[in-house]
Structure 1
């Protein structure tokens, strides 16, 4: 048999099978239509379910018969002389109903799929337990409340410390001192601000590791002694008369031969005042005016008190030195640099910045006491400051503050050559008191 005949026979069997399948489907559809017409309710009866099942069984038997017939025909055709190597069409090994449209009764007739049993996992056993260990519970630690309590205690302590510092500063009334110095001291606002800053930092607490040593330097008549008198009067009113010492070298120890005795007496006085201040929990003030006339023995005794760190006896104290040491450097700097700076604060900051290294080197060569001191230079006074000195002194003496008279008195004072718009006095306010007394 040729290839054409074998393909023809196979196509005929396929056509017969397809025709038979179409007939069976038509019959099944007709039966379903009749069943649907005869149904009185949407739920199918037992007879309808059995008829559909019988139809499925008939289709299955018919398919098996056709499949067997095709296999026999393929064997018969192959044995009667089919060429070797020719492809033989075989039927599918598995028959499925994927291409068929499912009927509403097929879901009822089909077996219900069973749920797959999940494989039970083995329980994880811990070494020291008979079963699963429960996850740890987050418990609130009691130590947290102790930590909160500690924070509260620290906050209260810091707050009380701040309040105590404020109370300690209020004891010395530094605000009142600032008002007094701004009102009474003329032309030295920069130096006054620096001095008040040192006092506020030191007096804000009672325990210190070293005393406060401040040294004011400037030419004659710029207000050094006047500033010392104002400080002494203020501290006498706040800490008491016995805790303030004003030491004038030319008055207390004029002879150099008595320098050793003066140094011993001064050390005894300072020791007594410091002990009294310790008992009253106050800080004493020691003012040394005309420090440029101090003898070497007195400077040595003061240096031992200021620089000594072996005892806590002399640490809580304020030492103020007033002198005209280095006045030549201050005068030269003011006359050469004032024309380029217009404001008073700018002149003072420039004076401190540029003159401080030179002034400190000069003073340290004289005595090591100045290495322990904070240096504050006082600049020259202008003509306007001298007029303010005359006005204040005339008001104190009861004279009428006549502006014409004040200008006349200020014109009698000697001045340096004008530097730009500035005219500096050679003697400052030194002659003001004498001239007012001659009125």
Structure 2
């Protein structure tokens, strides 16, 4: 599966005017609690080198790896007494190159140890049969209220990997928690729904050399009730590790509480370099900045500082956005020129973490015409989502959208997009 997202349009003129220089303040003689926590977070992040995705081209494998792949095929064939085993509709003993991709995932999960890989594969095939995983996409499991909230597939990263979002903060509500996890039967039903979400993402993969063969996983730790969800979390983790090896290319943790970095530092020595290389950790306040490194703004959900609303998906692929940065002490004016009279301009704009002033005005071309304040200057709080607005002109002119960050010293990521529809009046 190749990414079909079109490239972003060239941005219109962006005039950046620095209204005031950042005020320099002396550093405290000793690190505060916040700076100490921040430094721990930076250490945890820096210790996670960029993950390099594995190759699935047979010609790129080491000779020992090619031998292990052939041995796994031979051993699986010898151990098979019924129909040829298959996974995700792909016969594993066929000459289909997609079968090699799946078998290589199991081999890599067990460091190319053929007996261990075969055992893992056989157990996974048996689990899929007993769990009903192959037909789970067609089941109505009754979790409509959790769709798009707790676990959901939405958009792709910059390389074309499907993105799965996880957020368990809703279970802080005891009534909702009891409704979903009140007893063992409810927990089993939830696990089945969670597998269904993952299977939807896997259904988007190529399973071929050079294709998209893994997902991106974003986990929101905000308000997550750790103690209450311990059983469910352990069950999900165990189930996924045992049956879905090497299907996550990167794990991005967002809204990470300060103590997570300390826990990470403690457990880091026990994690393999391969596992740590997949981790990306973003504390609260750095969510949009982190996600934009891997996912384009038009694919990032609005609640995480992006432009993607669930309703937008009904109209096909999201319209590409233009990205820009707002430096500390800077005011940025986005000028959209050449707008005809009677045209309607619709725009979306978002700034990661906001906490700045926003406004929009229409400036007519004709002498003597007055500037129209489409949106008066107002302070946008950090938790607000992307702004969506439209304006119909009466005469030719230009739209100027402004974000004023002069009161802050912090650089912020931002994105916008717009469309101009000409008047249909005759």
Give the TM-score, by structure 2 length: 0.22
Task: Pick 1 or 2: higher relative contact order, CA cutoff 8 A, min separation 6.
Answer: 2
Give the TM-score, by structure 1 length: 0.21
Which one has a larger percent helix, Structure 1 or Structure 2?
1
